Chains A and B, each alone.
Chain A
C-alpha cells in the first residue's frame, strides 16, 4: 500500500473563522439597532439608517456573513480530514474567501443605499447575484475536486450534508434570482404575484434548510463526536436522517403562504410535508444529543460541549415549533406576528450561533497550537447568550400571541375589539424593550467570545494539521452506470410507474396494477438484500463511496419537490395572465412602487388579506391571485408591524398620506413607523421610466409600445394632478416629480383593478421641460 504525508490547508479555516466572528458582531449589532428602532422610533437616523433598509442588512449579515463564513470554516476543516486530502486548490480557496467578503461588503454598502430587489433574504441586486453565483461555484468546484483526489474511499455522512447544501443552494439561488436588469442597480423578478411568492418561499425556506441547517448538521456530525471523543450515537440513524431530510425539506416552502391566495393543494402539501419534517429533524437532534452519552458530566466544565448540547436542544425546539406553526389553524394566529420572529431567532441564535461558538472554542486553540485563553469567559458567554435567547424568545412569543389575539378579538356586537391597528403596536412595546435587552446580552456574550478567541490566537502560533494517508487506487471507485442502473433504482422507477398507471385505469385494473406494484417492490427489495450478502459491495455502499452518482441522486431528491410544486403554479399563473381584467401599474405608480421597495416597506407591511372575518373586517376583501398578478416582485410580506396595505387605495386622501409619510405620529399617535421627509425633497427624472416599463413588458406585463414611449409624460401628468390636489386641499407645495408624489400614487392604486387616475394618461408624448418638473 502506497502512503504519503499531507499537510492540510488550515490557513483558510483561520481566515473564515476571523471573518465569521467579525461579521457576526456587525450582524448582531445591526440586529440590536433595528430592535431599538422598533421600540424607539427616534433611532431611525435618516434615510440610510432607517428600519426598512437596515433590516435586510441585519438578516443578510447574520445569514450569509456570520453563519456563511462559519459554515465555510467548518466545511473546509472537516472535509480535508474526512477525505484525508488537502484542499484541491489554494487559489480557489482564496478566491472563495476574498470573493465572499467582497460580496458581504457590497451588501453592506448597497442595502443602506436602498439598492434592493425587494425580495426577502434575496435583496441583493443582479450584479451581486452574479458574483454570488461565481464565488459559490468556486467553493463547489474546490469541494468536488477535493473529493475526486481523496484518500478515503467512503464519504462520511457530514459530507453528504455538505453535498446537499452545494446542490440545493446553487439551484435555489439561480432560480430565485432570475431577473431582468433595468440598469446596473435595478432589476425586476421574472416571476410575479403568486408565482413569485411560491418561488421566493421555496427559496426562502430552503435557504434556511440548506444554508442554515444541512451544513450545520454536517458540522454537528463531525465536531460533536470530536468534542465528545466518541463516535456518533447511531450511524444508521444518520443515513435515514439525511435522506429523509433532503427529500422532505424542499417541499415545505408553501407553509410560509398558508391561508393566502396560493392554491389550496400547494398549501396542503406545504403543511403536510412540514409536519413530516419533525421525524428526521428529531432523529438528527436525538442522534446528536445521544452522542454525548457518558460525557454528560463534562458539560459542567467544558464550554464546547455545553454550547453543542444547547445548540442541538435549540434545534429540537425550533424543529418542533416550525411544523406546529405550519398547521393552517396555528398559522392563522401566528403568521405575520412576532411569534415567527421568535421562531427564527431560536434557530439563528440558538442553533446556528451556539454551534458556531462551540466549533470556534474547539477549533481556535487547535489551529494555534495552544489552549483556550479563558474557560471562565467562555462559560460566562454561554450563560449570557442563553439568558439573552430566552428573553428574546419569551418576549417575541408574548408579543406575537398578543398581536394575533388582538387582531381577531371581537367586541360585544361582533365588531373588531381593536379597530385601530396602532393599538396592537402600543400593546407590544414593552416586549420590544425586553427583546432589546435579550439581544444586547447575546451581543455582549459574542463580543466576549471574540476577545477570548483573539487572546487564544495571540498566545499561540498558527499550526496546520498533517497526516500519513494510504493512497486509494482508482479502480476502487464504482462506475456511474453501475449505480444509476442498479436494481434499487430500477425497481423504484418501475413501481412508481405502476402507481401512476393506477390513476388511469378502472377499479379492477387499478387493483391488479397495485398488487403487481406491491409484489414488484417486495421482490425487488428481497433481491437487493440477497445480493448484498454476496462478496461484491452493496449498492448503497457503492453510492456512499462514489461521489458522482451520489450527487446525482441528491440532485434528484432536491429538485423533485421544487419542480412538482413550482411548475403547475407557473403554468396556471401564465394562463391566468391572459384572463385577468386587472390593468398594469401606470408609469407614476410603477415609480412609486420602486420607492416602496427601496425603503423596505415590505419589512413591516403585508399586501395579502387572508380569508378570515377579522382580516376582511379590518383590511377589506380577501386577496386574490389577480390582485398581485403584475407585481414583479410580489409584496405579500411576512410580518405586520404595520397594517396590511392590500386595499389601502382610496381609504385615505392624498393629504393624509403626505402628512403620514412626513410624520406618522401626527395622524397615528403611538405609531413606530419611521418618518420619510426625504421623499419630499428627492425627485424622479422619469428618464429611466420607459426602460422600467420595457423590462416589465419583457417579463409579461402587457404594456403597449405607446405606453412605454409616453411613460415620462404620463408620469409627470399624474404627478401634477396629485401635487395640484395637495395644494388645493391643504396648501402643500410639492413638486409633481417628488418621490413622495409617486409613492402616494402607488399607495392609492393598491386594491384597484386599474389606476384611479387612468383617465389622466392619454399616452401623448409631452416634453418634460415644459411641465415644470424639478
Chain B
C-alpha cells in the first residue's frame, strides 16, 4: 500500500521527496530535543535560567 501511495505521490514530481525528508527530519529533531529538554540536569537548567539575573555594576560615562 505504501508503495502505491508513494508511486502516486511522486508521480507528480520526484522532487516532492524533499518536503517529505524535511518533515521527517523535523519530527526526529523535535522528539530528540523534547526528550533532551525533559531529561536535562536540574543544575544545568537552573544555571542557564539564572544567567540574565547576574547583574552588572554601572560606571560613570566619561
Residues of B within 8 A of A (CB): 1-3, 6, 10, 12-13, 15-22, 24-26, 28-40, 44-54, 56-61
For the complex, give the distance between the alpha carbons of A84 and B46 in Å: 18
A561 near B60: Cβ-Cβ < 8 Å = no
Chain A residues near B25 (CB, 8 Å)?
Answer: 492, 496, 560
Chain B residues near A235 (CB, 8 Å)?
Answer: 45-46, 48-49
B61 near A463: Cβ-Cβ < 8 Å = yes
Chain B residues near A568 (CB, 8 Å)?
Answer: 13, 15-16, 18-19
CB nearest to B30 among chain A residues: A244
> Does residue A133 face the partner (Cβ distance < 8 Å to B)?
no
Interface size on A, residues (CB 8 A): 73
For the complex, give the distance between the alpha carbons of A488 and B54 in Å: 32
Asked if A236 meets B40 with Cβ closer than 8 Å, knowing A557-B29, A561-B22, the reply is yes
B19 near A231: Cβ-Cβ < 8 Å = no
B24 near A154: Cβ-Cβ < 8 Å = no
B3 near A563: Cβ-Cβ < 8 Å = no
B3 near A505: Cβ-Cβ < 8 Å = yes
* Contact sample, A vs B, 12 pairs, CB 8 Å cutoff: A7-B59, A11-B61, A78-B52, A225-B49, A229-B53, A265-B12, A366-B58, A492-B25, A503-B10, A541-B44, A557-B29, A560-B22
B29 near A247: Cβ-Cβ < 8 Å = yes
B6 near A504: Cβ-Cβ < 8 Å = yes
Top 8 closest A-B pairs, CB basis? A462-B61, A465-B56, A231-B49, A568-B15, A503-B6, A564-B18, A564-B22, A239-B37
Residues of A within 8 A of B (CB): 7-8, 11, 78, 81-82, 152, 154, 156-158, 221-223, 225-226, 229-232, 235-237, 239-240, 243-244, 247-248, 251, 265, 269, 366, 369, 461-467, 488, 492, 495-496, 499-500, 502-507, 510, 521, 525, 528-529, 532, 538, 540-541, 544, 557, 560-561, 563-565, 567-568, 571-572
For the complex, give the distance between the alpha carbons of A706 and B28 in Å: 56
For the complex, give the distance between the alpha carbons of A251 and B47 in Å: 33
- Extra contacts besides A236-B37, A563-B22 (19): CB < 8 Å: A152-B51, A156-B48, A156-B51, A222-B52, A229-B53, A231-B46, A235-B49, A240-B30, A244-B33, A463-B60, A465-B58, A467-B57, A492-B25, A496-B25, A500-B24, A528-B32, A541-B40, A568-B15, A568-B16
B51 near A154: Cβ-Cβ < 8 Å = yes
A464 near B28: Cβ-Cβ < 8 Å = no
For the complex, give the distance between the alpha carbons of A239 and B36 in Å: 9
Chain B residues near A82 (CB, 8 Å)?
Answer: 51-52
| Secondary structure call for the A interface | helix
Chain B residues near A462 (CB, 8 Å)?
Answer: 61
Chain A residues near B58 (CB, 8 Å)?
Answer: 366, 369, 463-466
For the complex, give the distance between the alpha carbons of A560 and B60 in Å: 48
B33 near A240: Cβ-Cβ < 8 Å = yes
Chain A residues near B34 (CB, 8 Å)?
Answer: 240
Whole-angstrom distance between the Cβ of A769 and the nearest chain B Cβ? 53
CB nearest to A570 among chain B residues: B15
Chain B residues near A230 (CB, 8 Å)?
Answer: 53
CB nearest to B13 among chain A residues: A568
Chain B residues near A225 (CB, 8 Å)?
Answer: 49, 52-53
For the complex, give the distance between the alpha carbons of A496 and B25 in Å: 7
For the complex, give the distance between the alpha carbons of A243 and B25 in Å: 12
For the complex, give the distance between the alpha carbons of A143 and B51 in Å: 18
For the complex, give the distance between the alpha carbons of A223 and B60 in Å: 23
For the complex, give the distance between the alpha carbons of A571 and B17 in Å: 14
B56 near A467: Cβ-Cβ < 8 Å = yes
B33 near A510: Cβ-Cβ < 8 Å = no
Chain A residues near B1 (CB, 8 Å)?
Answer: 507
